[in-house]
Amino acid sequence: MRLCRVAVIGLAGGALAFAPASLRAQEPANRGTVAGVVRDSSGGGIAGAEITIVGTGLRAHTNPQGEFRLTNVPAGTVSVGVRRLGFVPTVGSIDIGPNEAATMTIVVAPLAQSLAAVIVRGDRRFEEHGRLAGFYQRRSRSSGGHYITRDQIDQRNPAQLTDLFRSVPGARIYSSTFNNVVRFRGMRCAPLVWLDGFPATAGEYDLDALDPYIIEGIEVYLGVATVPPEFRWVRGGGSCGAIVIWTGFEERRRKARQAANPPSELAKQVEERQLFTADQVDQVARTDSGSIARPAYPDSLFRERVTGQVLVEFVVDTSGFVLPESISAISTSHPLFTDAVRRALQSARFHPALLGGQRVRQLVQLPVKFEMPVETSQQQPR
């Protein structure tokens, strides 16, 4: 938003430089500011909507909360247009006095959705597939370890992996000549490190060589008595404890954030027919029942019994894969819900859209609702 505002002011200043002195003196008094928010019918802010003042060159885009601000708007009654892929174009009007700031809320209606909403129940927060199934099962049983989840890593935002161990009771961080090392209370030897189910036995493993943002979960066992049998090494490894690390799709998620396609770029691709919306294809992209997106309920929000929803947008390519760089939240009630949906979409598969008998890329919008089961919501917080 800041860049947009600066650009508008700069253009206005350039135009006034060539105007008569009397006009330059009067012009600012005939201008005002329009600020507001674009929401959907549920009240969520809509990100990436284009805002224009009809009849002028003024335009802006809403931020992740759906907010916008336009300056140097002509005083009087002005029409404010809103356009966003997946929603019905809308025009609202507002009166602006000279040197005044007017505020408005614009509600936009969605076009027909091609996918039914995904419901995430709190009682399925431990449901994980593949390599992480054991992690969540052991964590749910509280089997003598300390567990660090992706949710907690996001909250702590560590500069390096060993920073996460500073909050683990009984763990100590020491600086050696070349790197940081972890030791557990009363032990001088290094804990055995497991990476994605395989032991790292060739010397002490440099934990800081791993980017924290590729980690999905960490298990910490402070002594041999607490190490699960599957993480004990026949050569005596694990006698000084064990650190079990599970990596995942976070590196792809981080790269997707850095190179995400803005809504304006997706709109351009639709105009050039490089990308299609649900109403433009003969057969819309649909979920592959064998590989459905199953977001995990964020642990911290589950503990606080926070419910919410996300409307996410992404591109399904001709092979049925989701393009990671296209995933973005149109509206969300909490960033952790967005992250959970983004992670789940990385492994989801779809049947691609068809147009004229050919597979085409389709822009898909998927609503996801996070709900607590009735029996859990009636319990006392843990």
Boundaries of every domain in the chain: 2-107, 143-248, 260-377
What CATH number is given for 143-248 in this structure?
Answer: 2.170.130.10
CA of 376: how far to CAs of 151, 202, 303, in Å? 20, 46, 10
Closest Cα partner for 249 from 341, 186, 127, 166? 341
Instruction: Count the alpha carbons within 13 Å of 220 in the hemisphere toward its beta carbon.
Output: 21
Closest Cα partner for 344 from 324, 364, 359, 358? 324
Choice among 86-100, 133-147, 158-172, 249-263 with the minimum mean pLDDT? 249-263
Residue 23 has pLDDT above 70, yes or no: no
Choice among 32-36, 116-120, 195-199, 236-240 with the minimum mean pLDDT? 236-240
State the average pLDDT for the chain. Answer: 81
Residue 259 has pLDDT above 60, yes or no: no
Closest Cα partner for 129 from 296, 353, 379? 296
- Give me the sign of the Cα torsion angle 213, 215, 217, 220: negative
Residue 349 has pLDDT above 80, yes or no: yes
Residue 186 CB partners (closer than 8 Å, separation 6+): none
Residue 26 has pLDDT above 60, yes or no: no
Q: What is the pLDDT of residues 39-68, one digit of tens each?
A: 988 888 999 999 999 999 999 999 989 999
d(CA 138, CA 361): 40
Residue 84 has pLDDT above 60, yes or no: yes
Choice among 74-78, 144-148, 200-204, 349-353 with the minimum mean pLDDT? 200-204
Q: In CATH, which of 3.40.50.720, 3.40.50.1950, 2.60.40.10, 3.40.50.1170 is domain 2-107?
A: 2.60.40.10
- Domain spanning 260-377, CATH architecture: 2-Layer Sandwich (3.30)
Mean pLDDT of 211-224: 88
Residue 290 CB partners (closer than 8 Å, separation 6+): 349
- State the CB neighbour count (10 A cutoff) for residue 120: 26
d(CA 380, CA 382): 6
Q: What is the pLDDT of residues 303-339, one digit of tens each?
A: 788 999 999 999 999 999 998 888 889 999 998 899 8
Q: Are 145 and 154 in contact (CB under 8 A)?
A: no
| Between 300 and 159, residue with greater pLDDT | 159
